[in-house]
Amino acid sequence: MSTAVESQLTDGKEHTVEDVSRVSKDLMDALTSQAADVARAPGLLITNEDVRRIRRYVNTGLSLPTKLEEVTHLVGGVDNGIPGLEPEAICDLYVGIQAHARSWSALETTMQKVGSDLHVFSGNLISIATNVVEFIKSLDSYQTLKVGDLTPAQIEQLPPVAIMDQDSKKLPGLLALVDDLKVYIKEHSASTT
């Protein structure tokens, strides 16, 4: 089945779902370094080299002349008659590049904030998860019922085991830790999107 994507969300041409799917796959292949012609580290990340390239682009873009007289002087004061390469067209292009270059600062600040939030989140997630694991290891059921030497197939064949009475009393504490973890993940999910 082929469904056209709304044209205002694209380049103005109609694209099938298959086209969009192919582009999405190509993007993911590039991000994961699966594509044959990709020579960057895999991941949904911006590398230090990417940031340096963006900053070079920004610096170059901000240094472009945006007054018609300056652009006319830059091209030698001559209108070469080639459509799209007239001083006016080049001036418009440079104005657009400068506007685009100016947008980087806000994006960079947002990325730094998200990166910082993710760093704090990962540390706290490790801490909370460690507390959950330690709590589980402290349960008498965990101490008594070792399965470390069993294969996955043997574990699947084991009958269900009831939680010991003394451990049942500790379950609210474990559930409270899990609830804290859920809240923490939800809060940080909102701050990084």
- Residue 6 resides in a domain: yes
Residue 64 has a pLDDT of 94
- What does pLDDT average to over the chain? 79
Residues 75, 131, single domain; the answer is no
Q: Residues 151, 184: one domain?
A: yes
Who has greater pLDDT, 172 or 145? 172
Same domain (yes/no): 67, 80? yes
Lowest mean pLDDT among 7-11, 25-29, 165-169, 181-185: 7-11
Domain membership of residue 52 (yes or no) is yes
Give Cα separations from 174 to 50, 59, 63, 138, 188 (angstroms). Answer: 43, 53, 59, 11, 21
Q: Is 107 a member of any domain?
A: no
Structurally, how many domains does the chain consist of? 3
183 falls within a domain:
yes
Determine whether 77 is exposed, middle or buried from the number of CB atoms within 10 Å of its CB (0-12, 13-18, 19+): exposed
pTM above 0.75, yes or no: no
pLDDT of 56 > 90? The answer is: yes
∠ CA(49), CA(51), CA(52), 5° rounding?
Answer: 65
Are 41 and 58 contained in the same domain? no
Domain closes at, from 72, 102, 132 = 102
| Average pLDDT of span 148-167 | 76
Residue 96 confidence (pLDDT): 93
* Domain hosting residue 4, numbered range: 1-45
